[in-house]
Structure 1
Amino acid sequence: MKVYAAGFNAWNQLELGREPNTAEPEDIYTFKEIIEGDIIETPVSRLTCTIVRIDGHFVVAGHGLPDTADDIRLVYTTAVNGIGEILRAEPSDNNDKEDHTESSRFRLAKYRSLEACKAHDPVQSWPCRQPVKQVAAFDVGFVILYADGSVSTLGDPRYEDCLGREVDDANPADAPCGVSELNDLGEPVRKVAAGGYMVTALTTSGGLYVWGMGSVGDQNQSRAIPDICGIPNYVEVDGDADIEDVAVGTSHAIVLTGDARLWVIGDNMNGQLGLGMDGTACIQSWTRLHFSFPDLYHPVGVAAGPRSSFVIMSDQNRRESLPQEN
């Protein structure tokens, strides 16, 4: 397997498995191979660093990385929002031995910081009504995917559109509550992805649903997908192709379709769409991505950092399912 990357590289965070560039690092505008191995999990990329588990061990690059292997593993498996808060599923501290329900064994816990998480000092926690399959973060909140394919969100009440649901006394913004538009689809969600002020959900049949906000305040962040709103809406890519995988950055997105094609949209200021030095600064419609990779290899997954994108390639005859980040 191989990983290809493009985008923001000011701290050499895309130089996985390589000696850091001693000169001033440059952004990568066309996808290039950055590492290979037999088994590669989905990369986790923050603004200044990247972590990926390859063949059972972590490979890291960039600035501000944790010092110990345990801390690296914690960063790799936690969702962190725009102000550094962490939400994670973890064993509950419920000591009621007579209570054998799922909610007695696991909880969702929110922490103010990585240090608070290491100290097991949550701001708040909630019992899990179902096993948690995945947690993803956006700038002002979190989206939770449960094992039964249902979805909940929690976050800042000032950014209600990012929650994709009604907010009221019975469904407060700052507690995990179900996204009814998704949970009433009649088919389960199998992956969620988020970044900036946009959230996505991918169903088992390959349907892509998107919701969120556009530019916000002084940050002037553009929306990756035009015309999104606070209601999850179905989005067509490549003539209504089935979507195999999706990843979202601060203001860009990349998808892999069922026929192994790659499509990108959104901000390209740092080359994160991989369209080359002459690429437009912002792409407002889905654009097919072309780049060279070895014969017999094909894409099996995508990932994204705030201003970077990753494509995972395999030389296996059948597509492999990549482990999803929590």
Structure 2
Amino acid sequence: MELWASGFNAWGQLDFEEVPGIGHRDLKEFKCILTDKRIEIVRTTLSATLVKTSAGLRTAGCFDDLIEHCISKQDNLSNLAIAGNDIVVCQSCSEQDPGRPASENTPAADPINANESVLKQYKSFDSYLNDHGEKLRQCGGSLQVVANQCTFTLLTSDGQVWTWGDGRYEACLGREISDERPAATPCTVEDLSDVPNGPIRKISSGGYVTAALTNGNDLYVWGGRPGQSKLLEDLTGAPMPLDLEGEDVLDVAVGVNHMLILTTERKLFVVGEGSNGQLGLDEKEVPTWKQVILPLKDSQRIASVHAGYKNSLVIVEEIT
């Protein structure tokens, strides 16, 4: 397998094979940065990249507290998401917490069962390390929790999507805010509850945009921030189906102000800001979807896409 990358590299977060004396320059086009029998992207932060290989964890860049914790504990914290406002959400198995008292956010009529996860929210990563957080409303068995600048999105095992966060950015929630469904409380995105070719199987979030991918390879996107240009022309606060020249979508990754899509035909498309090279095109802005072709061998294909802070990562596999 190979890991290809482009974009922001100020801390050397894209330099797994660092050469002494060479400065860390942004990558303006995709290049292979790591080769191994097994490559799994664990986490990306502002200044570091953490991956799992056949030899264990590999890191690049300048480690922050989160990456340091992952390395020291050998824990990828896949159940944890950190928003741009530093708020942290962590999910854990309800069996570790068989009961809880009622509170304004967790009414007594909302029991925990063995098929559900316990969601806890913390003001910061330091608060998480010291377990100074509050429990949130139960949302069922959890598959994924992701965050962008101001919003958290949860995907449950039955394909339901829940959102909560800063009510000043209602479009990022993908749902209406009301007294019964406040911004700060996890609530379902009803527009995604019964979509064609559903249910939802993956979510991705970054900047002020979130995407949801169905089992039938349809993609829904929502979000936006007042006063900021839209990442996509038709982007609104309601999940909208994305039509990419009739292509089915295999994978999606949402960055701070850019997106990547991998189609079922293994074509790579990008859109958004590219000033740091994160689109692999050396263009400052790409307002509409544009295909990027990697110089792969005939025996290779793209397996998945990932978006970091103003950079992009692509895993390439051998065709069997």
SS at match of 1:148: coil
- Secondary structure at 2:158 match in 1: coil
Alignment of 1:281-292 (within 5 A): 281-292=284-295
Contact (CA 8 Å) 2:137, 2:185: kept in 1 or not? no
Give the CA deviation at 1:94: 3.3
- Among 148, 152, 155, the alignment partner of 2:158 is 148
Matching residue of 2:201: 190
1:302 counterpart letter in structure 2: V
Q: For residues 265 and 215 of structure 1, do their structure 2 counterparts lie closer, same or farther at Cα, with a shift above 3 Å needed?
A: farther
Normalised to the residue count of structure 1, the TM-score between the two structures is 0.87
Q: Which runs of 5+ in 2 are unaligned?
A: 101-110
Q: Please, which of 256, 263, 272 is the counterpart of residue 278 of structure 2? A: 272
Shift of 1:56: 6.4
Shift of residue 316, structure 1, vs aligned partner: 3.6
Q: Does residue 1:180 correspond to 2:190, yes or no?
A: yes
Tell me, yes or no, if the aligned pair for 1:198 and 1:223 is still in contact at 8 Å.
Answer: no
Aligned residues: 305
**Quick one: distance in 1 between partners of 2:42 and 2:15?**
13
CA contact (8 A) 2:169 2:225 kept: no
Summarize deviations over 1:211-266 as a string: whole Å, max 9, x none: 001465xxx5x4322221100001111x1211000001100000100011100000
Cα deviation, residue 313, structure 1: 0.7
Offset of residue 36 of structure 1: 1.8
Aligned equivalent of 1:82:
84
Deviation at 1:118, TM superposition (A): 1.9
Q: Write the letter of the residue equivalent to 2:62.
A: H
Quote the Cα distance in structure 1 between the aligned partners of 2:20 and 2:286.
30
Deviation at 1:294, TM superposition (A): 3.0
Query: For residues 279 and 92 of structure 2, what CA distance do their matches in structure 1 show?
Result: 35
- Deviation sequence 1:2-36 (CA, Å, 0-9, x none): 110000000000012x1265343110011011112
Shift of 1:50: 0.9
Shift in Å at residue 272 of structure 1?
0.3
Are the equivalent residues in 2 in contact too, given 1:43–1:303 (CA < 8 A)? no
Counterpart Cα distance in 2 of 1:110 and 1:193: 19
User: What CA distance in whole angstroms lies between the structure 2 residues aligned with 1:165 and 1:13?
Assistant: 35
- 1:308 corresponds to 2:311: yes
The alpha carbon displacement at 1:58 in A equals 1.4
| CA distance in structure 2 between the partners assigned to 1:242 and 1:91 by the alignment | 34
SS in 2 for 1:41: strand
The change in CA–CA distance for 1:156 and 1:56 in structure 2 (over 3 A counts) is farther
With over 3 angstroms needed to count, the CA separation of the structure-2 counterparts of 1:271 and 1:224, relative to structure 1, is same
The 3-state SS of whatever aligns with 1:158 is helix
Higher relative contact order (CA 8 A, sep 6+): 1
5+ unaligned residues in a row in structure 1: which ranges?
Answer: 318-326
Aligned partner of 2:128 in structure 1 is 117
| Alignment correspondent of 2:235 | 228
Deviations 1:24-66 (A, max 9, x none): 3110011011112222223522221111112262111111334
SS at structure 2 position matched to 1:102? coil
Aligned position for 2:15: 15
Counterpart of 2:91 in structure 1: which amino acid?
Answer: A
8 Å CA contact retained: 1:4, 1:310: yes
Specify which of 113, 133, 157 is matched with residue 101 of structure 1.
Answer: 113
The CA distance in 1 between the partners of 2:117 and 2:78, in whole Å, is 20
- Following superposition, the deviation at residue 198 of structure 1 comes to 0.5
Q: Distance in 2 between matches of 1:15 and 1:312?
A: 15
Does the CA contact (< 8 Å) of 1:272 and 1:307 recur in 2? Answer: yes
Q: What amino acid is aligned across from residue 293 of structure 2 in structure 1?
A: H
Task: Find out whether 1:67 has 2:68 as its counterpart.
Answer: yes
State the Cα distance separating 1:295 from its structure 2 match: 3.2
The separation in 1 between residues aligned to 2:166 and 2:137, in whole angstroms, is: 20
Q: Give the CA RMSD over aligned residues.
A: 2.1
Q: Secondary structure at the match of 2:75?
A: helix
- The answer as to whether partners of 2:10 and 2:25 remain within 8 angstroms in 1 is yes
After the TM superposition, which segments of 4 or more aligned residues of structure 1 sit over 2 Å from their partners? 19-24, 64-78, 91-97, 126-129
Aligned residue identity for 2:209: M
